[in-house]
Amino acid sequence: MAFLQYLIVAVLVAGSQANSLVDRQTGCQTFCPFMFMPVCGSDGQTYSNDCHLNVHACELAAQFSNEADYQPLTLAHQGMCSKKRQAGGCQTFCPFNFMPVCGSNGQTFSNECHLNVQACLQAEQFSNEADYEPLTLAHQGMCSKKRQVGGCQTFCPFNFMPVCGSNGQTFSNECHLNVQACLQAEQFSNEADYQPLTLAHQGMCSKKRQVGENNGAHNCPTFCTFQFDPVCGSDGQTYSNSCHLSSAACLSSYSNPDAKPITFVHQGMCS
């Protein structure tokens, strides 16, 4: 039962993230997979993968493409930029720690270093323009409101500091455990057999949990990769990949048999 609840929660979380994948003002994608396959941009900056480079390129184009001296950001080559980590006079290498800050342009940066890099690069390229506004720190933390499902926060940092939940499941950090605990409480707290999810101990659990034999959804996919290859479901929801769509469809058929089945509509994000 606990594992089924986890799967339902995972789908809800994936769904909440999908709704915020595109910035309404710029039209730029705002979510990228977390894999580290570094690429070097034409600005001399190393990006953790091709997606992050494309997002930055889109944001720059949205903000500066009308400027006379605008130069689009493109892929220079696969792999990290050369050891000379400078673009002009700007440092272009930053640590990967996630301590989000909000810039004056309304963009969230993974840490203050990344904000400072972009501020420097923009200053070098556009400071002579009449309408140039320097990029500065607006405040610590993310710009937009925290992603929520119901009353639960669903965004967590990506640092790996594993904890073990009272359901025997390992979570990548305590924030992820708290998110699931909140979502489960909202969905199941009125059930007679509901048991709140709590922290058992720091570190990974000793045993993997499995879907029980008496669980109606034991034939549903129980694990999906984090690969970002979005697909659109018939419920109008964007899923991060086809596995997540299949899992949602399967779980929905058990939890609400009378509901219209969720099916694959097309590859790519829903419009």
114-119 mean pLDDT: 84
Q: pLDDT tens-digit profile of 232-247? A: 888 888 777 777 777 7
CA-nearest of 47, 44, 19, 23 to 143 is 23
> Is 40 strand, coil or helix?
strand
pLDDT number for residue 229: 67
Looking at the chain, how many residues does it have? 271
Mean pLDDT, residues 124-143 taken together: 83
The amino acid at residue 268 is G
pLDDT band of residue 136 (cuts 50, 70, 90) is: very high
pLDDT digits (tens, 9 = 90+) for 149-170: 556 765 666 556 778 888 877 7
pLDDT interval class at 198 (50, 70, 90): very high
Residue 184, both tokens: 């489960």
pLDDT value, residue 14: 43
pLDDT attached to residue 87: 47
Query: What span, in angstroms and rounded, lies between the C-alpha atoms of 206 and 203?
Result: 9
pLDDT at 80 (0 to 100): 75
Q: At what angle do helices 2-18 and 242-255 cross, to 10 degrees?
A: 130
Q: Is the CB of residue 232 less than 8 Å from the CB of residue 269?
A: yes
Rounded distance, CA 32 to CA 56, Å?
Answer: 11
pLDDT digits (tens, 9 = 90+) for 206-230: 744 333 333 444 455 544 555 566 7
Read off the DSSP letter of residue 24.
T
Domains and CATH numbers, the chain: 20-83 (3.30.60.30), 87-144 (3.30.60.30), 154-187+196-205 (3.30.60.30), 231-267 (no CATH)
Task: Calculate the alpha carbon distances from 52 to 12, 128, 174 in Å.
Answer: 24, 27, 26
- Percent of the chain exceeding pLDDT 70 equals 66
pLDDT tier, 251 (very low <50, low <70, confident <90, very high otherwise): confident
Alpha helices in 30-111 (DSSP H): 50-64
pLDDT score recorded for residue 17: 42
CA nearest 239: which of 180, 153, 249? 249
Q: Give the residue, 50 or 21, on which the prediction is more confident.
A: 50
Q: Classify residue 269 by burial, with Cβ atoms within 10 Å: 0-12, 13-18, 19+.
A: middle
